[in-house]
Every structure is written in structure tokens, then in C-alpha cells.
Amino acid sequence: MNITNDKITEYLDSYYKPLDDDLAAFRARNEENGVPLILRETESYLAMMLKVLKPRHILEIGTAYGYSAIFFARSCPEARVTTIDRGQRMIPIATKNFEEWPEGERIDFRTGDAREILDQMIKDAEIKPDPYDFIFIDAGKSHYKEFFDRAIHLAAPGTVVVCDNILMRGWIVDRSYEGGKRHRTNIKYMKQFIEYINGREDLTVSMLSSGDGLAVIKLDE
């Protein structure tokens, strides 16, 4: 389900410019095989943001097949990327992709429950701080608040956090959209997360309808 007019999306996508031919081919293979990855409109927005922010240490929660982690590393040649996923079907494919791309040397792929991994990372950071200056969340929709609350303990002051798919194909505003009734729990928790971040005075939040909905959050400096 497209949350905006299909013709508008088609028009915007006509101006989509992949970072390079290799990434374009990688995206095409994923799209042909129905692999979940960031939408073209979302990628274009992130590409611009990365050029502005120039992050050096990126945290991603939700790896899938590794496209976005490679995109982050390729967009920011000096950056290190930590990405987390527990999907048993996806882990071996993402691992293979990271081994095949030269950027894989700068990608730390951690597998397992993101909440447990983040808890351990927080403990490690108490001994050896190494804060992240850009965070991207695109994982289990029922757990965005849990991911966010943990991730910001690993963030530098002023870090930007981007959460993808917050509108969930329009189900957030109308569950009658196709498939919405099957995702009541995810919808409930995503609504709670949206209310939570907008209710915090220490955050600057912008919610966009770009792609499948983005929450762009800046932590206080």
C-alpha cells in the first residue's frame, strides 16, 4: 500500500539517483527478489542527510540483507557502521554480502536480539565510550521505543536518529487499509512510540510522509 499518490511517488522516483552503478545493481537484485530494503525516496533523503551530517560512527538496528548498511558505509567513506539483526534467514545472506563488498571491512555485523545486544553495548560503553553520531532504526515495529531508549545511551550529544516505516503503509491513521487489521499490535506500539517521542522536551522531532513515513529526531546537545 502506497501512503501517498502513486503518480507522485512515480514522479519522485524518476529523479532517483543511486550512489553508483554497483549499488544500483545491488538494489535492482533485491527489488527483483522481493527483499525488504529502504525505499528509493527514503534513500534519497538519507543520502542528502548523510552529506550534511557527515557521521563517523553509524548505528543501524535492522540489517535485512545488508543493503542499507553498505549504502551508509559507501556514502560515508570514513565512517564505521554497526548493524544489528536477528533474522535467521537474513543473517547468512547479509554476512555474505558484507564479505563481498569492500565496505564490509568497516561494517560490524552483530546478530541476535537487538535489545540484548544494545544492553551489552551500553555496558561496554561505560568502560570504553565510543558514541554514535547517526542512528537508523528499521526493525521490529513493536519495539521502536525499546530500541530508541537503548540506542540514545550510545549516542553523542546532538545525534540524529531516523526511524523508518513509522506510518506503516497508512495503518497508523486507518487500519482499514489492506492488511492493517492483521497488525493491530504493531500499530498500537508504533502509535505509542510516536506519542512518546513527541512528548519529550529534550528531543526535536520531525515526522515526514517520505517513503513509508520517517521520524527524524535530534537529541539535545
Q: How far apart are CA 46 and CA 60, in angstroms?
A: 13
Q: Give the helix/strand (H/E) hosting 113.
A: none
Instruction: Round to whole Å and give the CA distance between 108 and 100.
Output: 14
Q: Is residue 72 part of a domain?
A: yes
Residue 1 inside a domain? The answer is no
Q: Is residue 114 part of a domain?
A: yes
Could you tell me if residue 151 is inside a domain? yes
And the C-alpha cell for 81?
A: 557502521
Instruction: For residue 132, give the CATH number of its domain.
Output: 3.40.50.150
What size, in residues, is the chain?
Answer: 221
Burial (CB count within 10 angstroms: exposed 0-12, middle 13-18, buried 19+), residue 7 = exposed
C-alpha cell read off for 101? 563488498
- Could you tell me the pLDDT band of residue 171, with boundaries at 50, 70 and 90? confident
Q: What is the pTM of this model?
A: 0.94
Helix (H) or strand (E) holding 68: helix 67-75
From residue 178, alpha-carbon distances to 5, 171, 189 in Å are 16, 9, 19
pLDDT per position as a tens digit, 30-65: 999 888 899 999 999 999 999 999 999 999 999 999
Tell me the three state secondary structure of residue 165: coil
The verdict on residue 194 lying in a domain is yes
| C-alpha dihedral sign at 33, 213, 89, 96 | positive
Percent of the chain with pLDDT over 70: 95
Is residue 52 a contact partner of residue 75, using CB atoms and an 8 Å limit? no
pLDDT band at 8 (very low <50, low <70, confident <90, very high): confident
The CB-side HSE value for 209 (13 A sphere, CA atoms) comes to 10
Torsion angles phi and psi, residue 109, rounded to 5: -95, 115
Q: What is the pLDDT of the chain when averaged over all its residues?
A: 93
Average pLDDT value for residue range 164-183: 76
111 φ/ψ sector (left φ>0, alpha ψ -120 to 50, else beta): beta
Q: Say if residue 75's pLDDT is above 90.
A: yes
In a domain, 35, yes or no: yes
> 143: domain range?
6-219
In a domain, 200, yes or no: yes
- Exposed (0-12), middle (13-18) or buried (19+): which is 17, by Cβ within 10 Å? exposed
**At residue 3, does pLDDT exceed 80?**
no
Task: Give me the number of domains the chain comprises.
Answer: 1
In a domain? residue 53: yes
Question: What pLDDT, in 10s, does the model give residues 125-168?
Answer: 998 889 999 999 999 999 999 999 999 999 999 999 999 999 98
